[in-house]
Amino acid sequence: MTADIAGISGAPGAGSVRPTRRRLLLLAAGAVFLLDVATKALAVGMLEPGRAVPLLGNWLACELTRNSGAALSMAADRTVMLTVVVLSVAAAIAWIGTHVRSPWWALGLGTILGGAAGNLVDRFFRAPGPLRGHVVDFLAIGPMPVFNIADLAVLAGVVWLIALSLSGFPFNGAARDPGPHAGS
C-alpha cells in the first residue's frame, strides 16, 4: 500500500489526512527567536541598567533589567527549576509540532516555542551561569513589570491557542465542527 493510498502523504486526493505544519511552526519559532535575541543584544549594548529611555512618553520605555525569575519576577529564587520547566515545555511543544496539521495552531505553537527558546538562551548563557542565567528584559509599559520580546511572544501564543480552542479550530486542521444544531 502506498502512502497516497493510505492517505498519509497530504497530496490532493490522499484521503482525509492533512499534511503536518512543522515547517510553519519552525519558521514562526525561528522568527520569534531571532527577533528576541537581536533585540536583547541591542538592549544590552545600548541601554544602561536602571536608566529608562522614554519612547512614548510615560506609556512605553526601554529599561534594561535582569530577571532571575519567571514573568512578574515570580519564583526568582527558583531559577534552575524554571529553566527545567521551560525546557520541558519547549520539548513538549516541539514533539506536539510533529503532529500539528492546522496552520493556525502551528503559528501559535511556534510563537510559544520561539519565545521559550529565546529566554532559555539567557538561562543557559548569561550570568551567573548555566541553568541560573538571568533573562534580559527591556520593555516597560506604564507601571507593568519590564519584559522582552520572548515574554510577549509566549503570552500572545497562549492567548492565540486559547482563542483557537474556544472558537472550535481543531488541532488536526479538519473543518470546524458546525455544532449540534447545524442544519436544524
Strands (E) across 102-156 are located at: 135-141
Nearest to 35 by CA among 155, 156, 148: 148
Given the residues 4, 77, 151, 177, select the one marked as catalytic: 151
CB atoms within 10 A of CB 31: 14
Given the residues 36, 77, 137, 177, select the one marked as catalytic: 137
Q: Is 137 a catalytic residue?
A: yes
Q: Is 177 a catalytic residue?
A: no
Phi, psi of 145 (to 5 degrees): -65, 155
Residue 118 burial (10 A CB sphere; 0-12, 13-18, 19+) = buried
Return the active site residues.
Answer: 137, 151
